[in-house]
Amino acid sequence: MNTILLLGSGKSSTYLIDFLADTAKAKNRKLILADLDLESAQSKLKARPNTVAVKVDLKDENSLEELVDKSSVVISMLPAFLHPVIAKIALKKKKHFFSASYESPEMKEMAEEIKKSNLFFLNECGLDPGIDHMSAMKIINESKENGETLRSFKSFCGGLLTPEFENNPWKYKFTWNPRNVVLAGQGTSRYIEQGRLKFVPYHKLFTRIDLFEFDEIGEYEGYPNRDSLSYRKVYGLEDIPTMRRGTLRRVGFTKAWDVFVQLGLTEDHYEVNLPEDFTLRDFFNTFLPYHPDRTVEEKLGDAFPSLDFPTFEKIQWLGLFSTDPVPMRQGSPAQILQKILEKSWTLNPEDRDMIVMQHKFEIETLNGTKEVVSSLVCKGEDSVHTAMAKTVGLPLALAVDKYLDGEISLTGLHIPVIPEIYHPILDALEKFGIEFKEKVTVTNPG
């Protein structure tokens, strides 16, 4: 009997847990769900056959080693900085390892020993990274097999709300780690456009926007991710003239968010200590110039001459012009802003989230230039069974399932960019409604 150790039972683990627990008995497997919160883990397993919940102390390495030693496969859904710690224990105990997170430098240092130990370590098998890799590589490899030349590849993804639940001016709520949203894009973004390297500093990021159209749900805008250049090698597209990856939001979001960036509300490198009676209006005013007579609203207009009503409305809706007390008085501006946003951007029980992803390819063929637009729209069921949890957890669950079933028979350190990994997973995802729709347009040479 194969034993699967799953570390972490947070929000993004819902579908992962359900798939592995539902199939455990039929596939003669045992699932151990280890979490800091034993009651939470037990409630998610629902006493299904061949499953057990245990409390784990992540600071107790001996306890972790004992858990790993009992398993055949280790899945880490812990915070990303803990993956290398768990991976090292898995390597020591000669166990296979899976995660949905980015392949870290520490993980790459283990590559040779992983291969020598005849183990399979798979990272980046969630949504983004994960489904983005697999769906893109399917098109890229098919194009190469046909002798075609890829000239442009743009890939953008976002965790948003379904249109019927876009019930605030931002048309957005947190569907992922709020801190990651507040700090998104800090640093310099890099991509290539028509053979020209492009670097976008943080203070310009939310002004460099691409537009994306989806059938039935409308138009979105996307800003560049931090580093698109490294993916040219990952995807075997070292010579492609245009490559850009990014994040999707509803049209108008980035213009309003840029106000926070320009004022410094997303700054996370220093702390402030605010007076006891400080209000949200006081906090916002702290980042505007002093003027003896001008109001906060007037000073905002002075600072941003192109400020329009939809942008003003978004800021107003968050209560930043109100006399409500600040939710915390000590912390970085970004931490305080996050607390303010969490009050308004937390999913309600009835809310439904949505994942949108779109790849745009320009491909030279013998018959002319082919444009391929491949789009994914996945809608959640409620605030627990979210599209985010589904698209992060199911690819990982299916990867483990296919590996234990022998459909994937690789060894070494991998991400899901080779056919033996992505074909069976993509085929299985379609049965769960996670499926891309393609539009192909060919322009004949003139």
CATH top class, domain 257-345: mainly alpha
Q: In sequence order, what are the beta bridge partners of 429? A: none
How many Cβ atoms from other residues are within 10 Å of residue 413's Cβ? 22
Assign 55 a pLDDT band (cuts: 50, 70, 90).
Answer: very high
pLDDT tens digits, 129-170 = 999 999 999 999 999 999 999 999 999 999 999 999 999 999
Fold of 2-123: Rossmann fold (3.40.50)
Q: Mean pLDDT, to the nearest integer, of 55-69?
A: 88
Compute the distance between CA of residue 380 and CA of residue 386 in angstroms, rounded to an integer: 4
Calculate the average pLDDT of the chain.
94
pLDDT tens digits, 189-241 = 999 999 999 999 999 999 999 999 999 899 999 999 889 999 999 999 999 99
**Is 237 within 8 Å of 243 (Cβ atoms)?**
yes
Q: DSSP letter string over 15-29?
A: HHHHHHHHHHTTTTE
Assign 175 a pLDDT band (cuts: 50, 70, 90).
Answer: confident
Assign 319 a pLDDT band (cuts: 50, 70, 90).
Answer: very high
Global pTM reads 0.92
- Token couple for 399: 């990867």
Cα–Cα nearest to 100, from 400, 428, 354: 400
CA distances from 399 to 249, 254, 343, 392 (A): 29, 35, 36, 12
Q: What is the pLDDT of residue 226?
A: 84
**Is 32 within 8 Å of 56 (Cβ atoms)?**
no
Q: DSSP letter string over 268-303?
A: -SS-EE--TT-BHHHHHHTTS---SS--HHHHHHHH
- Token couple for 214: 């989806």
Which positions ≥6 away from 427 have C-beta within 8 Å? none
In three-state secondary structure terms, 2 is strand
Q: Is the pLDDT of residue 446 over 60?
A: no
In three-state secondary structure terms, 138 is helix
Cα–Cα nearest to 4, from 55, 52, 60, 49: 52
Compute the distance between CA of residue 169 and CA of residue 309 in angstroms, rounded to an integer: 11
Crossing angle of helices 61-69 and 83-92, rounded to 10°? 60
Q: In sequence order, what are the beta bridge partners of 381? A: none
Q: Is the pLDDT of residue 179 over 90?
A: yes
For the chain, give percent helix, strand, coil, nearest 5: 35, 25, 35
CATH top class, domain 131-253+349-386+436-443: alpha beta
Q: DSSP letter string over 44-84?
A: HHTT-TTEEEEE--TT-HHHHHHHHHT-SEEEE-S-GGGHH
For 339-344, which contacts have Cβ atoms below 8 Å and span 24 or more sequence positions?
340/280, 340/283, 341/174, 341/178, 341/181, 341/182, 342/174, 342/178, 343/319, 344/168, 344/317, 344/318, 344/319
- Token couple for 5: 């150790």
Domain boundaries, the chain: 2-123, 131-253+349-386+436-443, 257-345
Cα–Cα nearest to 83, from 168, 144, 7: 7
Q: Is the pLDDT of residue 54 over 60?
A: yes
Instruction: With residue 154 as reference, give the H or E element that holds it.
Output: strand 149-161
Q: Is the pLDDT of residue 367 over 90?
A: no
Helix runs in 188-246, H state only: 202-205, 230-234
Residue 400 has phi, psi (to 5 degrees) of -65, -45
**Is 289 within 8 Å of 358 (Cβ atoms)?**
no
Q: What angle (nearest 5°) sits at the alpha carbon of residue 124, between those of residues 250 and 257?
A: 25
